[in-house]
A and B are shown apart, each in its own frame.
Chain A
């Protein structure tokens, strides 16, 4: 077993229930084995005093509190201490509370523990959060409609060192920038400029700028301006070729089969974003088969936004539980992928004796599908 040196973290629990706070202090104090300094506050006033006195790393707030409730306190906290990590605990995890907490800066919305097992999971989750190093400078945010060329240009002009990780539809590539120069690119089985051009030909996807790590090889040494121009030329040529091929196919009047960007599920089109359940006819849905598994008949579907708002549900007995599971999956898949350097997460497949479940968390949605096995045969 490895021993990690971990900096002492200051964790503040805010809850009007003194018994709960005492139990948390006792149990989590023991489990954290000296990694945490635990502070307790029975109301928001005491919590704010502690926040002034101590450099708190993580605040865990019960959202059902008298006078100033947890959500009001959270909003105040987020305005005054935007850099402090915030987690909410609630005995009643309804959609409205969850959305309100996320909107007011909570990074996690957890249900209050009902048994020791729940408490252990909460502790594990909080410990992982507390261990994440806080970035003291720079901005966090969302870039929309940004091109990869813009990102690369920014990194090169600033003479930065980084790895631009790009992912799109079960595919990923990496561009290594060292002191403002592109030194290596890899995409699937390609390396060097071929990989760079392939990545820059993508029409859309997701990117992540990660700290620089020396690649296994250096395959590019040209100036970044030339490389970007060359990539633009290759992309234009490819687009022109594609247009000509399309014209040729249309001229031959051949039927064209549209291939979706992410061929994961053939699911009914999501309903407009409201809570009214829509009951389509029993869908014939193909689920990616788990190892040793076969295709199945769908029993329930839930699709939600990253904030846990339901976009679509079908025959789901407990959408809140499913959303809670997707939130759990979102955290764990990110932490697992980062720890083992596994690349972008796609989905979790679960196989029981009679049923199969597939859960997927993407940047724009969460999906939960449960199916009964043995209806048909289909391989992945």
Chain B
């Protein structure tokens, strides 16, 4: 994963409502960013791996989805994937100061066009 990709992800943490985010490449290299000690790098790496596994399982079942949302009591974990296997994870609150849908749309669109 190149430096500018890290920079892009770090930059996204400035968006209001972003609690944590991560990228996982097809070679399993993972890069994460968090705004809280609650979301440790190890837990975020695991979340990225879960997302990659989910997309893999969905492809195996012939469901080529590009965006997933894990809905928990208080949080949303969004995931997006690309043809090259790069996965994006975004964690936000379900209520209160959460990520605006337009911001999420922009992040996903940028992620899809990000040059690795």
Interface residues of A (CB under 8 A from B): 1-2, 4, 117-118, 121, 124, 167, 170-172, 290-292, 321, 325, 328, 332-333, 335-337, 339-353, 355, 357, 370
Whether A341 pairs with B30 at a CB distance below 8 angstroms is no
Task: Tell whether A340 pairs with B47 under 8 Å between CB atoms, given A325-B61, A328-B57.
Answer: yes
With contacts A291-B101, A291-B104, A339-B46 taken as known, whether A357 is within 8 angstroms of B73 at the C-beta atoms is no
Chain B interface, DSSP helix/strand/loop, else mixed:
mixed
Which 3 pairs across A and B sit closest by C-beta, in order of nearness? A343-B73, A342-B72, A339-B43
Please name all residues of chain A whose beta carbon is closer than 8 Å to the beta carbon of B60 when the two chains form the complex.
117-118
Q: How far is the CA of A333 from the CA of B49 in the complex (A)?
A: 12
Cα A118 to Cα B70 in complex, Å, equals: 22
Task: Report yes or no: B63 in contact with A355, Cβ–Cβ below 8 A.
Answer: yes
Is B58's CB within 8 Å of the partner chain A? Answer: yes
Task: Report chain A residues within 8 Å CB of B105.
Answer: 291-292
A292: which B residues are within 8 A, CB to CB? 101, 104-105
User: Do residues A346 and B71 form an inter-chain contact, with CB atoms below 8 A?
Assistant: yes
Is A124 within 8 A of B101, CB to CB? Answer: no
B66 touching A336, Cβ below 8 Å: no
> How many residues of B are counted as interface, with CB atoms below 8 angstroms from the partner's CB atoms?
41
The answer to whether B70 and A344 have CB atoms under 8 Å apart is no
Do A342 and B75 touch (CB < 8 A)?
yes
CB pair B65 A342 closer than 8 Å: no
In the assembled complex, the Cα of A321 lies from the Cα of B46 at a distance in Å of 24
* B13 within 8 Å of A (CB atoms): no
In angstroms, how far is the closest chain B Cβ from the Cβ of A174? Answer: 11
Shortest B17–chain A CB gap in Å is 12
CB within 8 Å: A-B pair count: 116
Given A292-B105, A350-B68 in contact, is the A2-B75 Cβ separation under 8 Å?
A: no
B44 touches A340 (CB 8 A): yes
Select A342's contact among B30, B54, B58, B74, beta carbons within 8 Å.
Answer: B74
- Whether the Cβ atoms of A124 and B49 lie closer than 8 Å is yes
B50→A342 contact, CB < 8 A: no
Residues of B63-89 contacting chain A, CB below 8 A: 63-78
Which of A4, A340, A348 is within 8 Å of B39, CB to CB?
Answer: A340
Chain A to chain B contacts (Cβ below 8 Å), 5 pairs:
A172-B74, A292-B104, A340-B38, A343-B72, A350-B68
A350 touches B67 (CB 8 A): yes
B36 → A minimal CB distance (Å) = 10
- Closest-by-CB residue of B relative to A346 is B71
Q: A342-B73, A343-B75 are in contact. Are A332 and B50 (CB under 8 A)?
A: yes
CA distance A342 to B19 in the complex (A): 12
Query: What is the chain A residue whose CB lies nearest that of B78?
Result: A291
Contacts of A321 in B (CB 8 A): 61
Output the residue of B44, B45, B46 with the most chain A CB within 10 A.
Answer: B46
B50 touching A351, Cβ below 8 Å: no
Bound-state Cα–Cα, A357 to B64, Å:
11
What is the CA–CA distance of A328 and B30 in the complex, to the nearest angstrom?
22
Name the CB-closest residue of A to B32.
A1
Most buried by A among B39, B63, B101: B63
Within 8 A of A (CB), among B1-36: 20, 30
CB distance from A214 to the nearest CB of B (A): 14
Residues from chain B with a CB closer than 8 A to the CB of A353 are: 64, 66
